[in-house]
Amino acid sequence: MQRFAWLAAVIAVAATPAVRAQSSATPDQLTPQQRELRDQLNALHWVAGPATETVAGNSTLVVPAGYVYLGASDTARFEELNENVPSGKEVMIAPRNLSWTAYLLFDDAGYVKDDEKIDAPALLKALNEIDSLHPKIAVPGHGALPAEPAVLVERTRAYMTQLRGEMRAAVQEGVPMKRALDALPPADENRPVSLNSRKRRNAARVYVEEEKDVMGLSADSLP
């Protein structure tokens, strides 16, 4: 912590406008070692907000006004200057005065594109409507045709209800999506599309759906 405080003090007198902070120190008060550190920090590619940065090629991070951002390589160098061991995969965002720093790491395991949605509530509603029609035949996405269509409808309803409950519990307990998916049977490596691969895909989509709902970002949660 002392090392970080010293870094912040040096950055406070750095020439880079993006990270200029309030300080009584002046450049001529710096020791040669501090000047060297200042120059190394100035060499980093600081991005001052407001700005929008692409992270990991498929995520967007909005940097608000009054904040600064460092990409992965610059974050690693900043960590080294702060005498920490970097992972080389994290990016950093912080207030301009570096009173605190946040490190973000993107894990593409279970990544789901925003345009891929399952809409579990709508599916459950559709199952109820199908059930009310008393169909003579029901064709499943996987497996053999059931002798009784109502059995397939009920099986699908039970599966989706259980999946929603499990993914919502994972979100509420702070379980990452990757760990939640690891609890499911692995996909068949010899088949690009299999029952287990579809279950994992469904779980990933439902996890995102429940995460948005818990955070108040779903359509049903917005005022």
pLDDT tens for 167-206 read 999 999 988 888 888 888 887 777 666 778 888 888 888 8
Residue written as tokens 């996890």? Answer: 207
Helix or strand run (H / E) with residue 38: helix 32-42
pTM of the model: 0.46
pLDDT at 115 over 70: no
Comparison of pLDDT for 110 and 210, the residue scoring more: 210
Segments making up each domain of the chain, as ranges: 2-104, 120-214
Residue written as tokens 């109502």? Answer: 150
Cis amide leading into 50 (omega within 30): yes
Q: Per the structure block, which two tokens stand in for 159?
A: 């599966």
Q: What is the pLDDT of residues 52-76, one digit of tens each?
A: 988 877 678 889 999 999 998 999 9
Mean pLDDT score across all residues of the chain = 76
Rounded mean pLDDT of 213-222? 66
